[in-house]
């Protein structure tokens, strides 16, 4: 394999590991399935923020058809994942490392990866490892994952509250990190969160491709109405515009937790009082009454995981008062929790 690097490749993006955009060159005449391609490092920052994706001096390569079987791009062997659209398992034939590859049209890839150039690295948000540009497609390589939360919940049907707490806290950490850096996530659902380890204990946001970057981090007013009906907030469903993008995001974690715990979107039975309080503090019709991501992480439920005995006793002692959404008046009692 002929690999050609520029004298000063740009390093970026995540977790301190080098990554660079590369331009594929088709000087050699490759076979249809496994082309021999040379690689030239490019400027990651300029590619993200608006440089031309094509060069008059660099011939465009023949790129693999994402709907075919195994194919090769640069040093990577790509294996399509049937359950994930435009996504491949990518094996580096030089190092043997396995990554995940997302394939985008050249006309949209810069916008799809824009948020990665803004958001600092975080263990609960997937990061870009490499980018290779083809003739019509951009190949964005991310860390390998070990399945998504939707698949876990579907297979387990129901998780115990302690396990749900550990997973849900990591979801909240990802949302908080994005909000603090001017990024609204929008269409959050279980499939968007994947596992970083085989034991399925470490959760991270799978990608930032559908998020919104706020031009003014202090103004999250939005008017577009999109999202999965099973997760979307009432103000979006009703068509009320404009609305707060961050507060709409805070409705989603509550529906995610309901699905994590029971496999369906409703307040599960048998929750501890703290867990119920957390859900009731998020599932508010009025967006301004919902907890922010930072307030959510300060909730007592995360700091005092319930014991099995507490959960069992709660099943027998649930009262109608505990099922009522509590009033929310921070100005009055200076306490955002129940």
Measured distance CA(140)–CA(62) in Å, rounded: 17
Band the pLDDT of 271: cuts 50, 70, 90. confident
Measured distance CA(212)–CA(219) in Å, rounded: 12
Structure tokens at 153: 């919940």
Nearest to 44 by CA among 120, 130, 124, 122: 130
pLDDT at 252: 80
Structure tokens at 12: 């970026």
Which residue has better confidence, 264 or 257? 257
pLDDT tens figures, 309-335: 444 444 444 444 344 343 334 333 445
pLDDT at 52: 39
Query: 156-168: string of b/e by CB count within 10 Å (b at 16+)?
Result: eeebebebbbebb
Which residue has better confidence, 2 or 286? 286
Name the architecture of domain 149-326: Orthogonal Bundle (1.10)
Band the pLDDT of 61: cuts 50, 70, 90. very low
Residue 165 has pLDDT above 80, yes or no: yes
Which residue has better confidence, 243 or 226? 243
pLDDT at 54: 38
pLDDT at 170: 95
Count of beta carbons in the 10 Å neighbourhood of residue 304: 12
- 38-41: strand order across its sheet: 38-41, 21-25, 128-133, 137-143, 98-105, 87-92, 76-80, 71-73
Percent of the chain with pLDDT over 70: 65
Question: For the domain 21-143, what is the CATH code?
Answer: 3.30.200.20
Average pLDDT across the chain, whole number:
74
pLDDT tens figures, 94-134: 999 999 999 999 999 999 999 999 999 999 999 999 999 99
* Contact yes or no for 35/62 (Cβ under 8 A): yes
pTM summary value = 0.71
For residues 254-283, give the mean pLDDT. 74
Domain locations in the chain?
A: 21-143, 149-326
């Amino acid at each position: 394999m002929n690999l050609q690097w520029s004298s000063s490749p740009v390093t970026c993006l995540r977790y301190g590991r080098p990554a660079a955009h590369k331009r594929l060159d088709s000087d050699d005449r490759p076979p249809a399935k496994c082309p021999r391609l040379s690689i030239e490092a490019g400027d990651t920052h300029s590619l993200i923020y608006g440089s031309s994706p094509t060069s008059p001096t660099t011939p465009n390569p023949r790129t693999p058809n994402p709907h075919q079987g195994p194919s090769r791009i640069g040093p990577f062997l790509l294996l399509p994942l049937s359950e994930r659209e435009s996504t491949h398992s990518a094996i580096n034939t030089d190092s043997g490392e396995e990554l995940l590859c997302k394939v985008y049209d050249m006309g949209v890839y810069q916008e799809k990866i824009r948020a990665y150039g803004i958001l600092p690295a975080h263990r609960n948000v997937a990061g870009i490892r490499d980018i290779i540009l083809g003739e019509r497609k951009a190949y964005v390589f991310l860390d390998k994952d070990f399945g998504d939360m939707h698949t876990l919940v579907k297979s387990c049907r129901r998780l115990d509250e302690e396990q749900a707490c550990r997973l849900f806290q990591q979801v909240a950490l990802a949302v908080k990190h994005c909000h603090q850096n001017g990024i609204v996530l929008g269409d959050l659902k279980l499939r968007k969160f994947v596992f970083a380890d085989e034991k399925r204990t470490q959760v991270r946001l799978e990608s930032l491709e559908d998020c919104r970057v706020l031009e003014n981090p202090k103004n999250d007013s939005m008017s577009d109405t999109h999202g999965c009906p099973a997760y979307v907030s009432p103000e979006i469903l009703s068509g009320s515009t404009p609305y707060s993008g961050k507060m709409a995001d805070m409705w989603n974690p509550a529906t995610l937790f309901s699905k994590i715990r029971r496999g369906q979107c409703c307040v599960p039975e048998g929750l501890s009082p703290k867990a119920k309080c957390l859900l009731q503090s998020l599932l508010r019709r009025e967006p301004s009454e919902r907890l922010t991501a930072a307030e959510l992480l300060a909730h007592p439920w995360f700091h005092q995981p319930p014991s099995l005995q507490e959960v069992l006793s709660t099943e027998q002692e649930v009262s109608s008062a505990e099922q009522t959404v509590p009033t929310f008046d921070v100005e009055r009692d200076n306490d955002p929790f129940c």
